[in-house]
């Protein structure tokens, strides 16, 4: 994934045509497009391939399963053209290692350690540093840390060295792109603030400009 605007679009739009229009509008600005179950369930897994012609695609399937099932999901997503897959880290080192081994030479694995919504403070935040250490040992490319709590981005950065941090929670969830980058994130992930706006291209450009002010 290139590291230019440091902005990743979370394309949770469920209308296939609208999703493709938005992807076309912002693909020159964003460094990657992240897709999740809402778009895959409504438009089909072929959207992974379709979008991969426009941008790097990160499949945010938050995989949380036994190693064999992790292998099948990661293999399927990369086989359709994804550049990266996101997995949960709480499943443990064997599942995370299986994801990394399956992706080797074909793509990257990012691990979720702490979620950005208020409920993320209940179980994920208290365990995030320990989960991140396991992810480092398993060789993941990077981690997901919450833009809604920049102090937590800084805390995860201390544990993971120079591995990447992708940070969701900007805009609709109240987080700030520049604060997340300043706290140590490499990229921010933005969904509704872009894909629900009247002018996705302009909003993406504005967020990229904001990020540039703190680089
Ligand atoms: O709030 P939005 O609309 O900007 O969308 C945020 C996206 O990031 C959405 O797809 C959501 O599923 C995802 N996300 C979070 O919001 N919080 C998290 O803690 C983790 C993710 C996520 O993407 O995890 C993997 C990157």
Say yes or no: ipTM exceeds 0.90: yes
Helix (H, G, I), strand (E, B) or coil at 18: helix
* pLDDT for residue 95: 98
Ligand 1 pocket, CB under 6 A: 10, 12, 36, 60, 86, 112, 115-116, 120, 144, 146, 166, 168-169, 171-173, 189-193
* pLDDT for residue 53: 97
73 to 39, 45, 66, 134, 164: CA distances (angstroms): 16, 12, 11, 21, 22
Q: Which long-range contacts (CB under 8 A, 24 or more apart) does 150-155 make?
A: 150/175, 150/176, 150/179, 150/180, 150/182, 150/183, 151/183, 152/114, 152/125, 152/128, 153/180, 153/183, 153/184, 153/185, 154/183, 154/184, 155/128, 155/129
CA 154/CA 123 separation, integer angstroms: 19
For this structure, is 94 an active site residue? no
CA 114/CA 156 separation, integer angstroms: 9
Helix 93-103 and helix 67-79: axis angle, to 10°? 30
CA 124/CA 118 separation, integer angstroms: 10
Please say whether the beta carbons of 43 and 71 come within 8 A: no
169 is in an annotated binding site: yes
As averages over each run of 10 residues, the pLDDT of the chain (215 residues) reads 98 98 98 98 98 98 98 98 98 98 98 98 98 98 98 98 98 98 98 98 98 98
Please say whether the beta carbons of 145 and 153 come within 8 A: yes
For this structure, is 186 an active site residue? no
The structural domain count of the chain equals 1
CA 134/CA 111 separation, integer angstroms: 10
User: Which CATH number covers residue 75?
Assistant: 3.20.20.70
* pLDDT for residue 173: 98
CA 74/CA 101 separation, integer angstroms: 10
Q: Is the pTM of this model over 0.95?
A: yes
Helix (H, G, I), strand (E, B) or coil at 35: strand
168 Cα–ligand 1 center, Å: 5
Domain span at residue 12 reads 5-211
**Stated length of the chain:** 215
The structure tokens listed for 86 are 């996101």
For this structure, is 101 an active site residue? no
CA 4/CA 31 separation, integer angstroms: 6
């Amino acid at each position: 994934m290139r590291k230019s605007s440091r902005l990743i679009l979370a394309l949770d739009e469920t209308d296939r045509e609208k999703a493709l229009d938005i992807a076309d509008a912002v693909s020159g600005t964003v460094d990657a497009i992240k897709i999740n179950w809402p778009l895959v369930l409504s438009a089909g897994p072929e959207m992974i391939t379709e979008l991969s012609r426009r941008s790097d695609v990160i499949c945010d399937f938050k995989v949380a399963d036994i190693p064999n099932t992790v292998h099948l999901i990661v293999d399927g997503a990369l086989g359709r053209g994804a550049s990266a897959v996101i997995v949960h880290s709480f499943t443990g080192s064997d599942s995370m290692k299986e994801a990394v081994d399956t992706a080797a030479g074909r793509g990257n694995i990012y691990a979720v350690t702490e979620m950005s919504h208020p409920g993320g403070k209940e179980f994920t935040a208290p365990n995030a540093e320990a989960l991140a250490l396991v992810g480092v040992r398993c060789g993941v490319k990077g981690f997901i840390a919450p833009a809604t709590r920049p102090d937590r981005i800084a805390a995860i950065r201390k544990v993971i060295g120079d591995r990447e941090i992708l940070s969701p929670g900007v805009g609709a969830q109240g987080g700030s792109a520049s604060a997340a980058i300043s706290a140590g994130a490499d990229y921010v992930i933005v969904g509704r603030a872009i894909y629900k706006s009247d002018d996705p291209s302009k909003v993406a450009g504005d967020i990229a400009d904001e990020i540039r002010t703190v680089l």
